Amino acid sequence: MEVSTQVLLLVSAALALCRAAAARPDSATANLDAATMAAQELDRVASLPGAPSYSYAFKHYSGYVTTDEQLGKALFYWFFEAMEKPDEKPLVLWLNGENFMGERWFGQAQELGPFLVKKDVPELELNPCQLAVPGLSSGCWIFIHEHVLRNRSTGRQFHGWFQRFPQHKMKEFYIAGESYAGHYIPQLANLIVDENKKASRENYINFKGILIGNAYMDGDTDLQGIVDSSWHHAIISDTLYATYLRSCNFSAEVLSRECEVAMGQFNVLHDLIDIYSLYAPNCERGYPDFNTSFSPQIGPTTSRFDLLRIPMGYDPCTQTYATEYLNREDVQRALHANTTGVSYPYSLCRDSINVLWHDSDKTVLPIVKKLAQEGLRIWIFSGDTDGRIPTTSTRYTLKKLGLPIKEDWSPWFTHKQVGGWSVVYDGLTFVTVRGAGHMVPTSRPEQALQLFEHFLANRNLPSKPF
């Protein structure tokens, strides 16, 4: 099946991709002025260390877009065009999650992107499961660094990317992501919807919908769902579960001491397994540790959002491979990275962000409900073996919205097998992905692609085997 999409992947201000070879003229760039074409060409990727030589059948660009010159703020992006007719395909912005991650490369290096880091050497290979994804076959993606988006002024400055690539301005535009993106995708979407109501044609964004996987949207229901799911998956004992039920009020500003002790016991149990994919192995090589902790936690030790730790992929060592590759000096030069000469190594997570950042709403459900009423296309999906933002949490959260059900719980199919279940509410569609962990595109790429195609086409997933 062919995907019709372009994805806008803006990753963080730590990586900047490669300098340009001569761009071939096409219909999308024919009417651009010389300065715009030159700016795009400077960001075009000519080569990437360790990448296969045949990997440049599609064009991709990366670099910085200034958002506040006085404060020295910029967005870092990585943009992949489709192989075929990219000027005819919609545009998708992919945002990875986590509320205090620093530099993130999950979407490109471990999930959706055309490149994966090889297992035993810090080089790249074409993603064998993603040869039909938008970045390679028929669409374009943008990856953006999510931490910058938490600054509420940055959404208004997102027009900077479209100023760099004005040929894509009027394409159908979608935002997709996972995990803590359940918070800032609705926030960014709400901002775009509101700004579009008063925008000139020049600044109007042809915004159509959002797609969020294993979405953290509501503090109370997500925390309660984690506990309930852990008991249902036989991870915690009846005794510990009873302690939670008795002592934990997740709506309270301050949790009881008994609840905090129970959370400590919970953390010990989850340190033994990969909470992001309950039935996947841990990485025997170990995980990189640059000024951070990767052990999952739940509870208010620093903030009650500490539970949102780094998600591991289907291969539990992908994080390690990616970190090793991105710390190569030649890779950083090719990516235009570390242009300010920071002294510390690249890391997928950095706890210093968590210490400095205190701007997080407890819930985004009022925003989600507003977006549904505005007629925005909203799909929420959930890998059902995730223990961090489990399907249980998402079902509790969506029930809290109180939306009427239009099409009740029913299976959908990938070929002859059940791919998961879905329910269509008035204004929102919820889809589970059977056997997938926190990062659905990593653990179930075929089902993820099928889900993504149907979302873009705005049609229900197959209700019968095919």
Active site residues: 179, 386, 438
- Residue 358 to residues 182, 255, 291, 347, 355: CA-CA distances in angstroms? 17, 18, 19, 21, 8
What separation in angstroms does the CA of 35 have from each of 32, 42, 95, 101? Answer: 8, 11, 29, 34
- Supply φ then ψ for residue 358, to 5 degrees: -130, 25
Interhelix angle 238-247/257-270, nearest 10 degrees = 140
User: What six digits make up the tokens of 298?
Assistant: 């739940």
Task: For residue 380, give the nearest of 268, 217, 213 by alpha carbon.
Answer: 213
Given a contact cutoff of 8 angstroms between Cβ atoms, the answer to whether 142 and 93 are in contact is yes
The identity of residue 18, as a single letter, is C
Q: Which residue type is seen at 51?
A: A
* CA quadruple 80, 437, 253, 367: dihedral sign: positive
> At 453, is the secondary structure helix, strand, or coil?
helix
CA dist 88 and 256 (Å) reads 56
Q: 364 with 191: CB under 8 angstroms? A: no
| Cα 236 to Cα 324: distance, rounded to the nearest angstrom | 35
Q: Count Cβ atoms within 10 A of the Cβ of residue 74 and give its class: 0-12 exposed, 13-18 middle, 19 or more buried.
A: buried
Residue 23, helix vs strand vs coil? coil
**d(C-alpha 83, C-alpha 449), whole Å:** 17
Asked if 311 contacts 438 with a C-beta cutoff of 8 angstroms, the reply is: yes
| CA 210 – CA 94 distance, rounded (Å) | 10
Give the three-class secondary structure for 12.
Answer: coil
Transcribe 87-98 into DSSP letters: GGS-EEEEE---
DSSP 189-242: HHHHHHHHTT--TTT---EEEEEEES---BHHHHHHHHHHHHHHTT-S-HHHHH
- Nearest residue to 183 (alpha-carbon basis) of 444, 359, 335: 359
